[in-house]
Structure 1
Amino acid sequence: MTKSLDQLRRDAKTLRKAHQSNDVQALQRLKSHAPRTDTAALKHADYLHVIAREAGFPSWPALKLAADLLGMDLATKRQRLKVALSAGHFSAVEQFLADTPDIADGDFGLCLGLYRKPDVLAALDKSPQLATDLIANQAPPLTVLARSKWVHHKPDLSEDMLEIARALHANGADLDQGVAFSADTEHTLSPLYFAIGHANNMTLGRWLLENGADPNDGESLYHSTELGHHDGLRMLLAHGADPKGTNALLRAMDFHDKEAIQLLLDHGARVDEFDAAPVGGEVPWVIPALHQAARRMVPADLITLLLDNGADPNRRFEGTTPYAYARVFGHTELADQLAARGADQTLSPVETALAGAAEGHSAEGRLDPEEIPDAYRNIIRMLTSCTAKLDHIKRLVALGVEHDRPDAEGLTPVQIAGWEGLPEVMDYLLSLKPDLAHINGYGGTLLSTVLHGSENCPGREDRDHIGCLRLALAHGVDLPRRALDHVASNEISEFLRDWASEHPDQVVENGVV
């Protein structure tokens, strides 16, 4: 049952009291939906902001306006439908449409996301400025169209989608105008990024490029390497995308994608180019090529390709050589190739100890974490995405390496294991008693991070995210009631409902999803 505005206001007061008493769940909710970036004391409006964000709205004023115009029930349903279209939760979309057939009537943004061509064209005919007016004062209409994944559920509407795009463009929509990545950054995400990098919508991506969208938007080329195919990558390169400064080649290495790497090299990418500048406030997920090869355990033919194309065997990253990095991460083939090409093979005492753990030697004594170079401080976090490295991780723990250290984005090893859907690794890390209340830099808890991975981890088809959810819940993490309806997988939804039925005391009305 949808809560009224008055009930939500009371929820904000309850949250404030819980926060003031240092309630763990309240602290998690406030960290996940931080209402402000300064250190000033929180006011009632800040708690209202958290309540609105948990309900799926960008702010309390946006929630209140929608409720005043539509009634709280319809406003909430519409907001959840918008989220479902963007996330590809098609069963949820179908349920909303079946329960409330007129749910999108009069809502220009929803009509865009559902490719309701007659409604969009009629609205534009009456009010052409809708093509350029920001939806909810935030998003250009083309980004809303491009963000929707509805085309994968309704491919027969592809031509309607394109006709909508043409109509928006004809009425003045800027093909490159993006939506802000976050409230505290000037970085924007373009329609092209949403079409190719987010929605995997090659039809709309091709139309945007053919009609003049800028392929060098700082996001699309990088994310085109993550799709599991090369259509988007080829399309972008054919329309003039420049690999320089994108880190796209380094991202392709994450997937051992030799074809993508060769394509990028053929279009001017340089293997030794690495841009360390933050994007949208986030530090890069990649590092220089040979160090990246070490921690991603890339195969021998890729190592040869990198070295043959100019990778510097002695380039340092955070004070470490590629050879030392290869030894520390246990990549023997890379270490051998580097040695054969005359690389510096010097190891410090700490690197020697870490290399011993990689090579299967039992720990002799323990390292002081403060003496471990920054390049290796998060090595357990970096190894967590690979089940084959579990014994290596255990030896590192025995050596004294930190096993619950957050990385630059606040992600801990156990959260990464859950995101990757690796219950064997996660089970071991849970046995070390990590901080289960930790909130990462994306506002995620352990449970919400596993749920995010179940929908976004590139290898999710072969992973076991339900096994990871079972482990997290068995260790007592809260199960927010909203989670039951906020997942794309029917199998995961059924698992969560069964758990909620069997463990009702673990279900919380609020919480991070």
Structure 2
Amino acid sequence: MSLSRFFTYGVWLGALLMSLVTYAGEPEQQLRAAAINGDAPRVAALLNAGAQLESRDDNGRTALMLATRHNRVDAAQVLIAAGADVNAKDDIHDSPYLYAGASGYNDILELTLDHGADLASINRYGGTALIPAAERGHVETVTMLITAGVDVNHINRLHWTALMEAIVLGQGGPAHTRIVALLLKAGADPNIADADGMTPLQHARQRGYTEMVQLLQQAGGR
């Protein structure tokens, strides 16, 4: 066997062995592995063969939760079409809907919104999907969640709203400034203070975020 043919055979054998390792175990384990890998045809085949859709790993994560964590849109689509619960929370209170929103995984977020996402559900910090989306500067995600009807004035356990997080945890750049504008336009209260009594406007002034200050003042911030 020539060296090149031997190398090609080795690559093929390695891929075969990896496939066998990846999809070893019970059908539900294989389903979760296929979801992680984004192997939508394998996901569909396992479901058709009877794998339990809502089975969980040691961290309480369903196949859909795992597909979401890895932003595997095709696999998520197959799972959701089969009836996967978009609100099923894992051991740290993440759900596919909440995680997609927080991470800016908009394709999966849209799927969850179209299939029963609980807009009032909260994460381990007591926040809706909108709050971490605002904090992380996901402008399109924030727009989607506002349009869907998420409460823009929800207060988490730190006593922060989405507006507060966009200011305090953002960098004052274009994305976070745009998010502040979107939230205010959607009815965010500019005078909901944090646990220490500081308002969004006071935080923006303290940080020198001039554009945010102007937006807050125009919205009646004090």
TM interval, short-chain normalised: 0.7 to 0.9
Matched ranges for 1:305-454 at <5 A: 305-319=182-196, 320-344=198-222
Q: Which of 123, 137, 142 lines up with 2:31 in the alignment?
A: 142
Alignment size in residue pairs: 198
- The equivalent of 1:176 in structure 2 is 54
Q: Deviations over 1:83-108 (max 9, x none)?
A: xxxxxxxxxxx97963x965665xxx
Q: Deviations over 1:166-212 (max 9, x none)?
A: 2243xxx1x2232243xxxxxx222211112x222112211111111
1:288 equivalent to 2:161? Answer yes
Report which of the two structures shows the higher radius of gyration computed on alpha carbons.
1
CA distance in 2, matches of 1:331, 1:272: 21
CA distance in 1, matches of 2:42, 2:205: 55
CA distance in 1, matches of 2:96, 2:155: 17
Alpha-carbon distance change, 340 to 165 in structure 1, aligned in 2, over 3 angstroms: same
List gaps (5 residues or longer) in structure 2.
1-9, 90-94, 123-127
Deviation at 1:248, TM superposition (A): 1.5
Q: Which of 100, 104, 107 lines up with 1:224 in the alignment?
A: 100
State the secondary structure of the residue aligned to 2:48.
helix
- The equivalent of 2:47 in structure 1 is 165
1:253–1:261 contact (8 Å) kept in structure 2: yes
Q: Which of 217, 236, 245 lines up with 2:121 in the alignment?
A: 245
State the secondary structure of the residue aligned to 1:189.
coil
Alpha-carbon distance change, 322 to 178 in structure 1, aligned in 2, over 3 angstroms: same
Deviation at 1:131, TM superposition (A): 3.5
Alpha-carbon distance change, 161 to 190 in structure 1, aligned in 2, over 3 angstroms: closer
CA distance in 2, matches of 1:248, 1:254: 10
Please provide the CA RMSD for this pair: 3.2
1:200–1:227 contact (8 Å) kept in structure 2: no
CA distance in 2, matches of 1:337, 1:301: 10
Higher relative contact order (CA 8 A, sep 6+): 2
CA distance in 2, matches of 1:164, 1:101: 19
Tell me which amino acid in the other structure corresponds to 2:149.
G
Q: Which of 131, 141, 146 lines up with 1:260 in the alignment?
A: 141
CA distance in 2, matches of 1:202, 1:238: 14
2:100–2:108 contact (8 Å) kept in structure 1: yes
1:131 equivalent to 2:27? Answer yes
Tell me which amino acid in the other structure corresponds to 1:222.
L
Compare 289-298 and 250-259 and name the one that shifted more.
250-259
Tell me which amino acid in the other structure corresponds to 2:65.
Y
Q: Which of 37, 58, 62 lines up with 1:190 in the alignment?
A: 62
Tell me which amino acid in the other structure corresponds to 2:213.
A
Tell me which amino acid in the other structure corresponds to 2:66.
F
User: Percent identity at matched positions?
Assistant: 24
2:35–2:67 contact (8 Å) kept in structure 1: yes
2:119–2:150 contact (8 Å) kept in structure 1: yes
CA distance in 2, matches of 1:235, 1:273: 23
2:137–2:179 contact (8 Å) kept in structure 1: yes
Q: Deviations over 1:273-315 (max 9, x none)?
A: 1443xxxxxxx9x942222121312444432221122212121
CA distance in 2, matches of 1:237, 1:326: 32
TM-score by length of 2: 0.73
1:242–1:267 contact (8 Å) kept in structure 2: no
1:250–1:292 contact (8 Å) kept in structure 2: yes
Alpha-carbon distance change, 141 to 275 in structure 1, aligned in 2, over 3 angstroms: farther
2:34–2:42 contact (8 Å) kept in structure 1: no
- Structure 1 stretches of 4+ with a deviation exceeding 4 A read 94-97, 100-105, 226-229
- The equivalent of 1:446 in structure 2 is none
Tell me which amino acid in the other structure corresponds to 2:106.
H
Q: Deviations over 1:296-351 (max 9, x none)?
A: 1244443222112221212122312212221233322222222333323xxxxxxx
- The equivalent of 1:351 in structure 2 is none
1:225–1:252 contact (8 Å) kept in structure 2: yes
CA distance in 2, matches of 1:340, 1:220: 36
2:38–2:74 contact (8 Å) kept in structure 1: no
Q: Deviations over 1:447-500 (max 9, x none)?
A: xxxxxxxxxxxxxxxxxxxxxxxxxxxxxxxxxxxxxxxxxxxxxxxxxxxxxx
List gaps (5 residues or longer) in structure 1.
1-93, 114-119, 121-129, 133-139, 152-157, 182-187, 277-283, 345-513
Tell me which amino acid in the other structure corresponds to 1:131.
P
Alpha-carbon distance change, 237 to 150 in structure 1, aligned in 2, over 3 angstroms: closer
CA distance in 2, matches of 1:224, 1:339: 32
CA distance in 1, matches of 2:121, 2:186: 17
CA distance in 2, matches of 1:97, 1:321: 62
TM-score by length of 1: 0.34
